[in-house]
Structure 1
Amino acid sequence: MIDPLVKAGADINAYDDRGFTPVILAAYNGQAATVDALIAKGANACRPDRDQGNTAQMGVAFKGEDAIAARLLKAGCDVNARNTAGQTALMMASLFNRTHQVDMLLAAGADRTIQDAAGRSADSVAADQGNALMATRVKR
């Protein structure tokens, strides 16, 4: 449906009534082929949601979609993008113990020292979850 919608003039970066873009929805729901198709048609893989400022990269950290996380990193988005609470994808990946994504984000240049609005960094977010191994991994 992407091709016909684009040909008909649909805005591939439009927000739905909940404030999500097509890329965010596809990524969050594990639809890797749809994410690829949207990006190939010019969708902005970096556009945050309208209300909270969460990116698709943050959403896949929550959901554990490693392959999509890798694809989104290739799209060239700011690896240190922050939502309205000052949180980053690295913080979310640390929070949900997404070891592979943490490694990918760090390799892509994620800043482990960024603090959110509450003064927490990726390592303290992991520690607050009782995950000392992740806290150590992120703090290195």
Structure 2
Amino acid sequence: MESSNREGGGLSAGQRARVVEIALDLAREGRTGELVEFVRHGLPVDVADPGANTLLMLAAYHGRADTVRALLALGADPDARNARDQSPLAGALFKGADEVVAVLRAAGADPDAGTPTARAAAALFGRAHLLVDRP
């Protein structure tokens, strides 16, 4: 007999994996409203793919500023690094997603976290001005 205490609200492992896969795609595509509903219905906001890329990492890397804002408002960790030790802030700088960089900085993302750091990525791509703290 199966335990009624299964993780994922009674979903099988396969069903849970499919829900996570759909949510990761929503983050990549910037489908904020649908993604927020997944989180409000119990999907952990910092759920990640096998490479430890969180919803926030994928939204940041794909330049989805509105989705990044929404995930941060739901409690996403702005400094959660993937399996290659990359941060969402460094990913946004690499991709030239200036608005995402500003959103992450406003949320307190650490420019010195990860490898390479966001600061190093900004210097490499001529975007160091995006990391300057403004009064």
Range class of TM-score, shorter chain: 0.7 to 0.9
- Consecutive unaligned residues of structure 1, counting only runs of 5 or more, are 1-7
Letter in 2 for 1:125: A
Specify whether residues 11 and 44 from structure 1 end up closer, same or farther in structure 2 by C-alpha distance, changes over 3 A only. Answer: farther
Offset at residue 76 of structure 1 (A): 0.7
Q: Does 1:126 align with 2:126?
A: no
Q: Deviations over 1:80-131 (max 9, x none)?
A: 1111111110000111111111111111111111231xxx211222333xx3
Q: TM-score, normalised by structure 2?
A: 0.79
| Displacement of 1:22 | 3.2
Q: Are 2:81 and 2:114, in contact at CA under 8 Å, matched by a contact in 1?
A: no
How far off its partner does 1:11 sit? 6.0
After superposing on structure 2, the runs of 4+ consecutive aligned residues of structure 1 that deviate more than 6 Å are none
Q: How does 1:1-140 map to 2 (within 5 A)?
A: 9-10=10-11, 14-16=16-18, 20-50=20-50, 52-116=51-115, 120-128=116-124, 131-132=125-126, 134-138=127-131, 140=133
- Give CA deviations for 1:28-79 in whole Å, capped at 9, x if unaligned: 12222210211121111211112x1111111112211111111011111221
What is the aligned-residue identity percentage? 25
Once the 2 structures are TM-superposed, how far is the Cα of residue 9 of structure 1 from its aligned partner?
Answer: 4.3
Q: Kindly report the root-mean-square deviation, in angstroms, between the aligned alpha carbons of the 2 structures.
A: 2.3
Q: Which runs of 5+ in 2 are unaligned?
A: 1-8
* Distance across 1 between alignment mates of 2:118 and 2:63: 16
Evaluate the alpha carbon distance shift between residue 85 and residue 38 of structure 1 in structure 2; reply closer, same or farther with a 3 A threshold.
Answer: same
* 1:22 partner amino acid: I
